[in-house]
Amino acid sequence: MKKTPPAKSGGPTQAKAIRRRTATASADQEQIAAAIAPLQSRWSTNAQLRPVTAASMRGIRAKAARLGLSPDEIAARGGAAIADVVRAIADARDASGKLPIFFLAGSDRDAAYGLEAALALADGERRLVVALFGTKARPEHASAAGVWDRLESAPRVERYRIPNMREAAHFRAGIEEVAVLVDALGGAPTSTSPQVPLLAAIDLIRRARSVGVPCLAVGGPIGLDPESGARRRGAPGADVSVLFHRPLTTHQSLAAQKLLGEVLVAPIGIPDEADALAV
């Protein structure tokens, strides 16, 4: 994947050719399932826990923080789990390690998890392309902003800020040559229209999925509201979604599961004392 300057338009004929070529491509689901199977087995205890609402999960994290588990530590543990999944899928798709991993980050807590995953993967051999979708220079979430700053000096990491469709267009060329795309944009509520940066991110995810690039969503894909379970029209979905500590009640419907793809629920060290259902 290369970040290139905007290409000259090839006209409607070229656009139609691109659509025809990419319409039937999809990620290799059997390959993905085999790659993540060991992690699903390792984390099966968390996957089998009783689902809770997104609000309850926030309460669990808040109580864990009062017990000494800081939000930064939770983000680091979540990021390490995501890195394990991303590495497994990337190695299955591209054993040579030549294809890059593309991270799409928003400004909320899910961005912190995704950026921590990029930091955890920076000790490997793959090129890591990390794009912040927003109009500000740094993520708004405090933990995410801190990790974004640390990525500046991380090896093999390239950071970009994408505020609009024009900037996103630079990343379309060669997107089929990505090992894994990581959606760390956050589910985003369906009650409000996505801002331009998120629309640009959604477009890139849809393009990546249309050419068979495996897409992993942090906490659930963009366009699936974690609070209500509602789906936004045009939501791109994911091949794999990584949740944390417990499943969510809003992810139990068939419609939600279709968007989530394969689901893993990773442990992040939440103490039993912070989870009323565990005691």
Is 257 a domain residue?
Answer: yes
4 assigned to some structural domain: no
Domain assignment of residue 71, yes or no = yes
Q: What is the pLDDT of residue 232?
A: 84
Kindly state the average pLDDT of the residues 204-214. Answer: 97
The torsion angles phi and psi of 73, rounded to 5 degrees, stand at -70, -40
pTM of structure = 0.89
pLDDT value of residue 25: 72
Q: Would you say residue 147 has pLDDT above 50?
A: yes
Output the CA–CA distances (angstroms, integers) from residue 194 to 199, 201, 230, in the order listed.
Answer: 6, 10, 14
Does a structural domain hold residue 18? no
**Tens digits of residue pLDDT in 26-48:** 889 999 999 999 999 999 999 99
pLDDT at residue 1, rounded to an integer:
64
Taking 50 as the threshold, does the pLDDT of residue 23 lie above it?
no
Number of structural domains the chain divides into: 1
- Written as six digits, the tokens of 247 are 């499943």
Question: Which is higher by pLDDT, 191 or 132?
Answer: 132
Q: What percentage of the chain carries pLDDT values higher than 70?
A: 89
pLDDT of residue 242: 98
The CATH number for 120's domain is 3.40.50.10260
Stretch 74-88: mean pLDDT: 98
Which residue range(s) make up the domain with 35?
A: 27-278
List pLDDT tens digits, range 227-249: 888 888 889 999 999 999 999 99
To which residue do tokens 């893993």 refer? 264
**Separation of alpha carbons 207 and 134, rounded Å:** 19
What mean pLDDT do residues 78-90 have?
98
- Which of 19-23, 82-86, 125-129, 172-176 is the least confident region? 19-23
- In this structure, is residue 54 part of a structural domain? yes
Average pLDDT over residues 213-218: 98
Q: Give, in order, the Cα–Cα distances in Å from 203 to each of 14, 87, 165, 169.
A: 18, 24, 9, 9
Rounded to an integer, what distance in angstroms lies between the CA atom of residue 220 and that of residue 198? 15
| 3 falls within a domain | no
What's the Cα-to-Cα distance from 35 to each of 30, 32, 64, 129, 234, rounded to whole Å? Answer: 9, 5, 31, 22, 28
Q: What is the pLDDT of residue 233?
A: 84
Residue 82 · residue 216 · CB < 8 Å: yes
Q: What is the pLDDT of residues 151-196, one digit of tens each?
A: 999 999 999 999 999 999 999 989 999 999 999 998 765 545 678 9
CA dist., res. 78 & res. 74, Å (int): 6
217 CB-contact burial (10 Å; exposed 0-12 / middle 13-18 / buried 19+) = buried
Q: How many residues does the chain have?
A: 279
The residue type found at 207 is R
Would you say residue 16 lies in a domain? no
Q: What percent of the chain shows pLDDT beyond 90?
A: 76
CA–CA distance, 258 with 84 (Å, rounded to integer): 23
Query: Rounded to a whole number, what is the distance in angstroms from the first to the last CA of the chain?
Result: 48
Query: Which residues are CB-neighbours of 106 under 8 A, at least 6 positions away?
Result: 133, 134, 139, 184, 185, 186, 188, 198, 201
Q: Does any domain span residue 260?
A: yes
| Cα(190)–Cα(175) distance, integer angstroms | 27
Check pLDDT > 50 for residue 15. no
